[in-house]
Structure formats: structure tokens, C-alpha cells
């Protein structure tokens, strides 16, 4: 017999998700990191290490935003199957969150101080999209994941040549993000028009430029 969760139960789950997303080292990956012991970096200069750290900090904040987006959408989604899909995708994104944080730590850095701000903004956008309708909500997921995929491809080109561990993480993340976008469209997500995507791109640039050092 499946347990029926009350509103209070859902709120507790939401609060737990917030803590796992924003508290350092709280996110635990279900899958092993693609940057396993067999993947070794070449020697990195201090400038290369700082550059890789900045790029991975951007990717970590992107995963914070993804978590908030899915959690907000799951809270307001109309259909149970859509809500379940959001929760499943959010769980898979936890792997990315943990992998990025581990890599930032290896590089001697820290996650962004702006994460709570971007989490709050993304949660609000996700909740709004879910409230408008499941087709719009799923379309927002697809458009976001497509945008993340483009960021990952760009970062793969910008990483220092000798940074094989960060590159392994980003390659697996790119595979997962493409799958999430396809699943959202297959579930009935709307394809967003160009101007909407352009606005999302502009907002993402604000995040990437601010988080690279902060």
C-alpha cells in the first residue's frame, strides 16, 4: 500500500532538499564520480588551476539552479507523473552537484557565495512555470537543459588541456543533461520560441560572470 504524503510531509522534503543543495558537502552522489582514481591530471599551473576552479564553480552553481528549478516545479506541477519526473530528474542532478563540489575541493577552491541567491531565483521561476501548466513547465526544463548543454560544451573547450578530471565530470554531465531535455520534450514539453531562449541566455550570462570568482 502506497503512503499518501501530506502537505507537511512535502514541506519537510522540500526543506531537506534545500539543505542538501546549499549546505557544503551535504549532497551525496548515488553514482561514482566519472573522475575516478584512474583519471589523472597533468601538471597544472596556478593560473590553470584557478581557471578550472572558476569554471567548475560556474557548473556547480548551475546545478544549484537546476535543483531549485526542479523543486519549484515539482511543488506546483499539476499531474502526479510530471511531479514524479521532476523529482527523479532532481535526484539525478544531485550527482552533478556532488561531483562538481568534489572537483572544486580538489582544485583547492570553494563553491560560490551567491548560491543562495541563485537558488531562490530559480525556485521562484520553477514554481511559476509549474503553476502556469505542465506543458510550459516541461518546456522550461527542456530549454534549460539545452542551455546547460551548450555551457558544458563551451567549458570542455575552455578547460586547461591537462585537466582531465574536470573534463571527465563535464562529459558525463553533458550526456545526462541531453537525456533530461529529451525526456521533458517527449513528456509533452512545449518548445520555447527564440526570444524566450535569448532571455534565458542573457540571465545565464549574469550568473556565469558573477560566479566565476565569487
Residue numbers in the known binding site for Fe cation are 63, 93, 96, 145, 177, 180
Q: Is residue 41 within 8 Å of 164, Cβ to Cβ?
A: yes
Rg of the chain taking only CA atoms, in angstroms: 17
Look-up of cell digits 582544485: 107
CA distances 161 to 149, 164, 190, Å, are: 20, 7, 38
Annotated binding-site ranges: 63, 93, 96, 145, 177, 180
Residue with cell 573522475: 35
Q: At what angle do helices 46-76 and 194-211 cross, to 10 degrees?
A: 130
Burial class (CB in 10 A: 0-12, 13-18, 19+), 140: buried
CA distance 128 to 34: 34
CB 206 within 8 A of CB 117: no
Amino acid at each position: 500500500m502506497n503512503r499518501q504524503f501530506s502537505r507537511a510531509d512535502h514541506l519537510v522534503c522540500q526543506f531537506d532538499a534545500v539543505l542538501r543543495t546549499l549546505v557544503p558537502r551535504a549532497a551525496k552522489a548515488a553514482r561514482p564520480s566519472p573522475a575516478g582514481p584512474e583519471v589523472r591530471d597533468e601538471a597544472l599551473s596556478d593560473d590553470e588551476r584557478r581557471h578550472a576552479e572558476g569554471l567548475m564553480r560556474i557548473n556547480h552553481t548551475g546545478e544549484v539552479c537546476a535543483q531549485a528549478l526542479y523543486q519549484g516545479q515539482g511543488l506546483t506541477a499539476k499531474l502526479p507523473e510530471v511531479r514524479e519526473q521532476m523529482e527523479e530528474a532532481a535526484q539525478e542532478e544531485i550527482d552533478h552537484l556532488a561531483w562538481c563540489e568534489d572537483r572544486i575541493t580538489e582544485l583547492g577552491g570553494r563553491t560560490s557565495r551567491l548560491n543562495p541567491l541563485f537558488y531562490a531565483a530559480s525556485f521562484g521561476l520553477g514554481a511559476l512555470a509549474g503553476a502556469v501548466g505542465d506543458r510550459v513547465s516541461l518546456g522550461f526544463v527542456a530549454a534549460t537543459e539545452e542551455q546547460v548543454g551548450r555551457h558544458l560544451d563551451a567549458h570542455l573547450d575552455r578547460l586547461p588541456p591537462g585537466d582531465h578530471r574536470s573534463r571527465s565530470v563535464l562529459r558525463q554531465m553533458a550526456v545526462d543533461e541531453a537525456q533530461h531535455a529529451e525526456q521533458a520534450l517527449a513528456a509533452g514539453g512545449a518548445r520555447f520560441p527564440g526570444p524566450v531562449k535569448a532571455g534565458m541566455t542573457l540571465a545565464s550570462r549574469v550568473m556565469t560572470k558573477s560566479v566565476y570568482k565569487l
